Structure 1
Amino acid sequence: MPSQPELWQILRSAKLVEGDEPRDNEPHWANRFMLGVVGWLAALFLLFFLFLSVGDVIDSPDHALALGATLLAMALLLNRSARSGDLWDQFVLALTLAADAWLLYGLIDRMDVHAVGAWAGLSGLAFAIAFCFEHWLIRLFHTLVAALLLTLALACLGLQILALPLVMGLLCACWLWAQRRPHQHERFEAMAFGLALSLILLGRLHQPLFDETNVLEELGQSRLPHWLNPLLCAALLLALLHHLKLPRRQGLFALPLVLLAALIPGMGAGALVLLLGFYAGSLGMMTLAALLLLGFGSLYYYDLALPLMTKSWLLLGSGTALLLVRTLLLRLGRHS
């Protein structure tokens, strides 16, 4: 493989480029790291100054809300107007997280945990922050939080079973929009990754999270049967397969994923993220899909009320079936 100077000479001889070889003006990673540290230090000094100046005032929830809103507006203004760079990006990130903390402090004492409007409003605010900021980590983090807050709002209505399919639908919309709108790719890609990360937590919310305590059931008793969750996920996965218009052979190979999603809770989320990752060639999405499939498969295996010997035979049979499917796919690939 030719080196970069040799490749430039080849392109010049073919009259595809002109002039000297462009130089890489990207700063060294150590310089970028130091700029990021300086940005955090500047933000921390500013926050420390604010704490010393108005420390007694922000004990009031109203004043904490006002300070949080002011910091959020300042971070958005800097993010929109300042020149992009590692220093400013880290400074804006620190200010935004501090604004989130003060807003949470101002709201935590006055919120009714059973109020649907409160959770839905906070979810909408988090989505708005993710959409407005030109910062990848801020978009990802706030989209993740917005999905969790939306789940809490649905739990107050007794509709927590719909949380996972709803977030999966939002993930499909963001990811497909990012692929079809290149000028908005970065924004919706970050939001899609935030939604995909939230699926790691949402996939098990229809079951007890810690021992026998279910956080969502404490907010409101479910009005829908648990078996509806995997069926809706499987239906959404089937709709995505139809929308992508995959070739007939590939569509048939994906049908076992739909069956798996209908039988095992949470597996539909992993199958959907895997399908989107392969469709766009995203290694990050495929890695998240592997974590989702492995995690929910392990949880399902752990929750089976079967003897260990029976579970061992099930694992042996599953491994044998997967080897047979692999052999069949290889043969079909050779024939095609």
Structure 2
Amino acid sequence: MSRQTEQMWAALLQAGLVQGASSATGKSESPWYVKVLLALSGWFAAFFLLGFIGMAFESVFRNSTASFILGGAMIGGAFAILRIPKNEFVEHLALAVSLAGQFLVVVALFKIAGHHGHIGWLLVVLLQAPLAVVMPNFVHRVFSAFIAAFSLNMFLGFQGWPNLVDGLIMLLAAWCWLNEFRYPQQMQRIRAIGYGLVLALIVLKGMALLGSQMTEWFFSGKQAELWIKPYIGEVLTGLVVLYVVWQLLERHGQGISGSISVPALVAALLVSTLSVEVTGLTAGLVIMLLGFSGANRVLLGLGIGALLIYISSYYYLLDVTLLVKSGTLLAAGVALLGMRWLLVTMLPKDREVDHV
């Protein structure tokens, strides 16, 4: 390790941003795409492990108590494995064991819930949320956060509120990405949970856009209050957009009297209004904004991809005529270009706001 690297590490250590020995002498962390492949391999291994358990211990699946105990033991064993010195094989093995154990526990929980399906989904939330926090593995935390968010959506759907969860998930994801550097010791945990929530948000928005009729049929008979309309989720996400924009403005020293504060908030409000018609527009833009503000290319790419999918799907779905959709997209494009021109025009020329 060079002298310059030693000095830099000492400065970070003194500031409390890192701990322990220099990472240059420790185990290098796997890239994110390797972790994705590890997750896929873990899921396949979990299916094979479940198949082995099903053939060897068929009675386990029939008895909810035995399934719960065995699944809990497998999750505990995976937790113990993940705490020992890591390598790719150990992480792969622990992930497979944990996923298989979670499946057994979930089967037991739904058997306990019986005909009350919403109770089963709530129990899954209560299972996955702690796992997303305590499990010492990045991929496991992403998976648990994703399943917890998806299960929360199912629970609220059975309660007659399927559109309320989008705003809540976006708020939690925004908090994670806005505060990832505020808690340096918990940065990896916050990032993993943030990725899981973002992926869940993208999937749920896609389900709302591509499978709205199927969703209505699935949750038929679960009537909510009259004020809860299908667009209430977009209204809540719009409030989250205003919160995100306000937090970023405050981070860069732009109070309410700042030269770009009011135009930025008005632009966010206009985009939120357009998103009521174009489902997912606000979600994609918020993910892009969070990725850009944190210099996170993965998050930025997820936002761009989600936005392209949402806009393309909105245009080609046959719920309204193409003329109406073309007009809506044209209005959205003109509004976004107009907001960009307004912000560039009103931005101070003598200094540039540091955005990273």
* Aligned with residue 239 of structure 1, among 240, 243, 248: 243
Candidates 278, 282, 288, aligned match of 1:268: 282
Query: Offset at 1:189?
Result: 0.4
Further displaced range: 296-305 or 165-174? 296-305
Displacement after TM superposition at 1:135 (Å): 0.5
| Residues 248-281 of structure 1 deviation map (CA, whole Å, 9 limit, x = unaligned) | 4554346424322233233222222222212211
1:67 match: 70
Q: Which deviates the most, 277-286 or 300-309?
A: 300-309
Deviation at 1:243, TM superposition (A): 2.5
Shift of 1:230: 1.6
Counterpart residue type for residue 292 of structure 1: A
The corresponding residue for 1:279 is 293
Instruction: For 1:239, give the aligned amino acid.
Output: Y
**Deviation digits for residues 150-186 of structure 1, max 9, x if unmatched?**
1122122222221111111111222233221011000
Q: Give the Cα–Cα distance (whole angstroms) in 2 for the partners of residues 16 and 155 of structure 1.
A: 51
| Mapped partners of 2:160, 2:96: distance in 1 | 36
Residue pairs, 1:1-336, within 5 angstroms: 54-80=57-83, 82-112=84-114, 114-203=116-205, 209=211, 211-214=213-216, 217-218=219-220, 220-223=222-225, 224-244=228-248, 245=250, 246=252, 247=254, 248=258, 251=261, 252-253=263-264, 255-264=266-275, 265-303=279-317, 306-309=320-323, 311-312=325-326, 315=329, 335-336=349-350
Q: CA deviation at 1:292?
A: 2.6
Tell me how far 1:115 sits from its aligned partner.
4.6
Decide which structure has the larger Cα Rg and report it: 1
Equivalent residue, structure 1, for 2:16:
none
How many angstroms apart in 2 are the aligned matches of 1:283 and 1:27?
Answer: 17
C-alpha distance in 1, partners of 2:245/2:30?
43
Deviation track 1:302-327 (CA, whole Å, cap 9, x = no partner) reads: 45755435544655665566566656
The root-mean-square deviation of aligned C-alpha atoms, in Å, is 3.9
Contact 1:133–1:139 under 8 Å retained in 2:
yes
Please tell me whether the aligned partners of residues 245 and 264 of structure 2 are also in contact (alpha carbons under 8 angstroms). Answer: no
Distance 1:79 1:324, change over 3 A: same
Using the aligned pairs only, state the percent identity.
25
Q: 1:188 to 1:137 in 2, by over 3 A?
A: same
Aligned length: 317
Give the deviation of 1:52 after TM superposition: 6.2
Give the Å deviation of 1:296.
Answer: 2.6
Tell me the distance in 1 between the aligned counterparts of 2:319 and 2:45: 55
| Aligned counterparts of 2:284 and 2:311: Cα–Cα separation in 1 | 10
Q: Normalising to structure 2: TM-score of the pair?
A: 0.73
Q: Equivalents in 2 of 1:84, 1:44: separation in Å?
A: 23
Counterpart of 2:75 in structure 1: which amino acid?
Answer: L
Write the deviation string for residues 101-145 of structure 1: whole angstroms up to 9, x where unpaired.
222333444434645433222102101111110111110011001
In 2, Cα distance between equivalents of 1:187 and 1:156: 30
Give how far 1:53 is off: 5.1
Alpha-carbon offset, residue 288 of structure 1:
1.5
2:14 maps to what in 1?
Answer: none
Contact 1:270–1:289 (8 Å) recurs in 2 = yes
Corresponding residue SS for 1:171: helix
1:228-259 CA deviation, whole Å, 9 max, x = no partner? 22222111211222233143455434642432
Structure 2, unaligned stretches of length 5 or more?
A: 10-23, 351-356
Q: State TM-score, norm by structure 1.
A: 0.77
How far is the alpha carbon of 1:68 from its aligned partner? 0.9
